[in-house]
């Protein structure tokens, strides 16, 4: 889990969406970034995970002690979850195609 968290954190910190974001990061941190598509890199990371690892990462991120990882997962859609206009961004919304996680739906999603 720590390794995956560090990779996600690395992608977020070192990949800028455009030149404006790149300049802003350079001014704030002094770090050089590259311009790229974070979703591409997250997709490469997800491709390394088996279904069981994906499931474990999802469930692990629900644990309150792992709030930093969960925040990155939600903010940057690392797990490629359902995109909604959810006014409560800390809530996961599973895609219908993610039927292997049905057992977790009650833990993951909050009904209003």
Indicate the number of domains in the chain. Answer: 1
Contact 70, 62 (CB under 8 A): yes
The residue range of the domain holding 94 is 2-108
Higher model confidence: residue 107 or residue 8? 8
- Confidence at residue 87, expressed as pLDDT on a 0 to 100 scale: 47
Does the predicted model carry a pTM greater than 0.75? no
What are the strands, taking DSSP E only, across the chain? 15-16, 34-35
pLDDT digits (tens, 9 = 90+) for 47-104: 999 888 888 888 887 777 888 888 888 888 888 765 555 545 556 666 666 666 666 6
């Amino acid at each position: 889990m720590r390794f995956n968290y560090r990779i996600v954190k690395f992608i977020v910190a070192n990949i800028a969406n455009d030149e404006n974001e790149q300049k802003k990061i350079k001014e704030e941190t002094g770090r050089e970034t590259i311009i790229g598509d974070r979703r591409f890199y997250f997709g490469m990371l997800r491709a390394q995970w088996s279904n069981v690892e994906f499931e474990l990462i999802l469930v692990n991120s629900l644990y309150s002690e792992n709030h930093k990882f969960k925040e990155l997962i939600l903010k940057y859609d690392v797990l490629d979850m359902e995109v909604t206009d959810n006014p409560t961004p800390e809530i996961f919304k599973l895609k219908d195609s993610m039927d292997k996680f049905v057992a977790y739906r009650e833990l993951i999603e909050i009904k209003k």
